[in-house]
Structure 1
Amino acid sequence: MSKPAVAVVDAETSGNVGTIARAMKNFGFEDLLLVDPPYLGRDSEAYGFAGHAREDVLPNARELTFDELADEFHTVGFTAVTNQDATSHVRFPFRTPAELADSLADVDTDTALVFGRERVGLTNDELARIDEVAAIPASHDYPVLNLGQAATVALYELRDLAMDETQLPDVEVHRAEEEAIEGFYDHAEQFLVDVDYPAEKRDKTMRMLRRMVGRTHPTGREINTIRGLLRRAQNQMK
């Protein structure tokens, strides 16, 4: 599928448009659509808030009407959770952004993620023309996010629709070599002897240490640092 576009309807402040453009740049989205936008000249807050998105996303934004948006795109409207159920279909049923990521991955059509106004979001009339609804689960005590927050959270959850593997950071855990980890266990066992740790407790303590280290997947640098601490303690005891 093509990358979803991001549409902002009747934003009150240019700064929020800039914030959304920046979030788009963060997570790989490129096409910004604007319905009844505020002034977005280069001297506006939008360019101050947009970060590097001021170079491409923001200046390339396209203005269109809500009717054009609804006619040209499969639209997903974002709204606050309103505790509606199956008896009302204005804002229900809805998907969370995480659920939406899975469903949109299989949609082979031009899609627009639609965000409404800062204070009131999308109106019921607008939502009636939206193809599907998404909402961000938040605390019942205060479930409403501001426009910039809502867009940033949603675009983060949907980033896999916009970025390929070459754009994602390398978050692989660089676990220490098994030889280095086993060397640490040998060192720790000798440390227990050196501090006169009760012999009858050493096996159990080593099992606990092995399980704990096994869960953490330490890096080589972490193993070397811990062994350095053990050596320093051993030297202090001499």
Structure 2
Amino acid sequence: MLERIRIVLTGTSHPGNIGGTARAMKNMGLGDLILVAPRGEARSAEAISRASGADDLLARAPVVDTLEDAVGDCSLVVGASARSRNLPWPMISPRELGARLPGELASGDSRVALVFGREDTGLTNAELQRCHAHVHIPSNPDFSSLNLVTAVQVLAYECRLAWLGENTPAATTGAPKHDETQPFTIDEGDRDPLASHADLERLFEHMEEVLIAIDFHDPDTPRQLMARLRRLFLRARPDQMEVNILRGMLTAMEKRAKASAG
């Protein structure tokens, strides 16, 4: 399970935080790290020093240009967020995240991404809207700012606790058990695999094109329409067949719109 949990650092400015993240991950048995457009030298001497023996993880961490490049193959993307947003999004705690992981990773080809933002500004609204849910660490409200590596360590610990709960008696580990009634949980027997992040992004692009074509959506006055549709479909967790059906519906709408215009 742990090998299919990916840590994504976005726009990291301090190389030491990249090295510290690698160390925090290796402490908890995680090994999949991807860096999105780091603002400093990702493998500097400082990063290697802070990795403290986890420099092998640092050395093999891909560096990509966009968040989509980092999470395109993931079936669940969770963004770390410390700020309230104008448009509310599904919010879970680190412990709830850990409890859901066994169910999310029950399929052998599923993958979960935990996305962390910049040290100074965090994740942008656009980046957060590409996540199925947001995770918030309930720190002291009078001193709530967490160092990036600390935030990674907290979530990595919860991942390991969930893994221990699946591999050792819960009474011994105190690990949270998966609750099948919680949101974002799918257990429907022979259901098709969940749509990947890349599948959903193609759906949203297609949807926006069609809604503009039929004069339902005006990109000059968007009124958060696409953000709300993102929230709706990300909350619904469509599978691959459902996305194909929706894409087929959109294509039929496109053809009818072109025929009417002709």
Q: TM-score, normalised by structure 1?
A: 0.62
Return closer, same or farther for 1:7/1:155 CA change in 2, 3 Å cut-off.
same
Q: SS in structure 2 opposite 1:118? A: coil
Q: Answer whether contact 2:99 2:162 (CA < 8 A) is retained.
A: no
**2:28 matched to 1:31?**
no
Q: Answer whether contact 1:81 1:136 (CA < 8 A) is retained.
A: no
CA-based RMSD: 2.4
| 1:161 to partner: Cα distance | 4.9
Return closer, same or farther for 1:122/1:97 CA change in 2, 3 Å cut-off.
same
Aligned to 2:184: none
| 1:81 to partner: Cα distance | 4.9
Q: Answer whether contact 2:71 2:77 (CA < 8 A) is retained.
A: yes
User: Which structure 1 residue ranges, 4+ long, deviate > 4 Å from structure 2?
Assistant: 161-166
**2:93 matched to 1:96?**
yes
Q: Distance in 2 between matches of 1:40 and 1:132?
A: 27
Q: SS in structure 2 opposite 1:57? A: helix
Q: Distance in 1 between matches of 2:163 and 2:7?
A: 11
Q: Answer whether contact 1:4 1:161 (CA < 8 A) is retained.
A: no
Work out which of the two has the higher radius of gyration on C-alpha atoms and give 1 or 2.
1
Q: Could you tell me which amino acid in structure 2 is paired with residue 147 of structure 1?
A: L
Task: Kindly tell me the number of residue pairs found equivalent between the two proteins.
Answer: 162
Q: Answer whether contact 2:12 2:37 (CA < 8 A) is retained.
A: yes
Aligned to 1:19: 20
| 1:30 to partner: Cα distance | 0.4
Q: Could you tell me which amino acid in structure 1 is paired with residue 160 of structure 2?
A: R
Aligned to 2:78: 76
Aligned to 2:212: none
Q: SS in structure 2 opposite 1:72? A: coil
Aligned to 2:246: none
- Which structure 1 segments of 5+ residues have no match? 172-238
**2:54 matched to 1:57?**
no
Aligned to 1:191: none
Q: Within 5 Å, which residues of 2 pair with 1:1-238?
A: 1=1, 2-37=3-38, 38-41=40-43, 43-54=44-55, 56-64=56-64, 65-73=66-74, 74-82=76-84, 88-89=87-88, 92-108=89-105, 109-161=110-162
Q: Answer whether contact 2:9 2:117 (CA < 8 A) is retained.
A: yes
Q: Distance in 2 between matches of 1:140 and 1:118?
A: 18
Q: Distance in 1 between matches of 2:162 and 2:34?
A: 17
Q: SS in structure 2 opposite 1:122? A: coil
Q: SS in structure 1 opposite 2:4? A: coil
Return closer, same or farther for 1:52/1:162 CA change in 2, 3 Å cut-off.
farther
Q: SS in structure 2 opposite 1:58? A: helix
Q: Identity over aligned residues, as a percent?
A: 36
| 1:44 to partner: Cα distance | 2.4
Structure 1 residues 8-40: Cα deviation after superposition (integer angstroms, max 9, x where no partner) = 001001100001000001000001111012213
Q: Could you tell me which amino acid in structure 2 is paired with residue 107 of structure 1?
A: E
Q: TM-score, normalised by structure 2?
A: 0.56
Structure 1 residues 54-105: Cα deviation after superposition (integer angstroms, max 9, x where no partner) = 1x211110122212224222211111153x6xx732xx32111111001121
| 1:162 to partner: Cα distance | 5.5
Q: Answer whether contact 2:102 2:163 (CA < 8 A) is retained.
A: no
- Which structure 2 segments of 5+ residues have no match? 174-262
